[in-house]
Amino acid sequence: MLNKTKDEIENAPTPGPLFGLPLPELTALMKRLNQPAYRATQLHHALYRQRVASPDEISTLPADLRDLLKTEGYTIGLPEIVQTARSIDGTERYLIRMADGETVETVWMPDGDGGERGDGSQAAEEEEKEDQENNSIAAEQNPAAFPYRRSTICVSSQVGCAVNCQFCLTAKLGIRRNLTAGEIAGQVAAVLNRHQVALSSSRGNPTPARINLVFMGMGEPFLNYANFIAAVRLLTQMPIPESRMTVSTSGILPGILDFAKEIVRPKLAVSLNASNDQVRESIMPITRKWNIAALLEALATIPLRNREWITFEYVLLGGINDSLQHADELIALVRDMRCKINLIVWNSGPNMPFHEPPQSGVSAFQKRIMAAGIPAYIRRPRGRDIYAACGQLKRTVEQPPQLVELAPA
């Protein structure tokens, strides 16, 4: 027992940010500081439930302990929103700065983008119900007033991206570094604090905040797997259930195989974007390492839960992957899987050699898939005017200022 206590003290986290540390590490820290174990629980609650920004805000800890933490060099360490761009549709894109000065972009989408529809989750039921309401004349005449009914936060996992998808602006950055678990979860905390969102049980609360998370921002989450999955565990403590999270991968097979073994895991979306290897390799070079057949084989190892579906994301690029022949090939690939298709009309960017397909072609592609009995949805673009839509995140502060109007956070 004495050896265990000694090991715990020696393994206490070094001075630095507290946000991002799980309860066992906070417990080890309290032991090193000669504090009772329950102080770690109080600190954990302050970090992930109250989302404090400073040790001085942790009223459950005595003042001398708060001072000791600061003296020892511990900070809360939440990332900082340094710029905000607001779209005409209510979407907000944030430039978020980490402690070392690196920045990523995170997006707030009031009422989401329809990405959860058809995936079998509670979030999907909410979206589908709201779609029905929005189709009614009453909803058109009396749109939902702020505060929003729910919101989706799009989270980054890396500074830049190494996957090099040709249709994505983030690819132009290359990869700078991975984000830590605290930096990934910290984006969510910073955005929730900006909007003063209170996350709590719906018990006794007639209008609980309904927050969905999508790990679809900058970076490939499965190339930063350990930090991504650690962030998921932190986020469930905030508390956001994993059933309200979706992670998107370009098809990193080792990550998919690890993901299949997780007990606590988000829903999975796979960025497929082509119906055959030739087309996919031309727009997603990662296909040279893991082709579509290998990808589908890895996906088959995931033990899907009741009502859980895999989402295939398919960015429609005019004249490249949007023909009815491509739709037929896609049907042949996935017809035996419990899955749905999210169709994404390509979101334009500067100096990109692609164009949007015509709306008639998008509609025909969707109808072809649905006729085969496969659910297919067209994802609503959000924040296109501020470069916040899918594939547009590129730390826009580096772009010429006339592209977007940036306002102070």
Task: Kindly list the catalytic residues.
Answer: 105, 390
Nearest to 179 by CA among 223, 234, 237, 243: 223
Report the alpha-carbon distance of residue 10 to residue 12 in Å, rounded: 6
What tokens does 90 get? 């209510």
Give the DSSP letter string of 38-79.
Answer: HHHHHHHHHHHTS--SSGGG-TTS-HHHHHHHHHTT-B----
Longest dimension (CA), the chain: 72
CB burial readout 128-166, b (16+ within 10 A) else e: eebeeeeeeeeeeeeeeeeebbbbbbbbbbbbbbebbbe
Sequence-distant (≥ 6) Cβ neighbours of residue 344 within 8 angstroms? 313, 314, 315, 316, 378, 379, 381, 390
Give the DSSP letter string of 351-388.
Answer: T-S--PPPHHHHHHHHHHHHHTT--EEEPPP--GGGT-
Give the DSSP letter string of 151-210.
Answer: EEEE---EEE-SS--TT-GGGGG-EEEEPPHHHHHHHHHHHHHHTT-----STT-SS---
Report the alpha-carbon distance of residue 49 to residue 200 in Å, rounded: 9
- Specify the pairing of strand 245-249 against strand 267-271: parallel
Neighbours of 60 (CB within 10 A): 14
Which residue do the tokens 């398919």 mark? 314
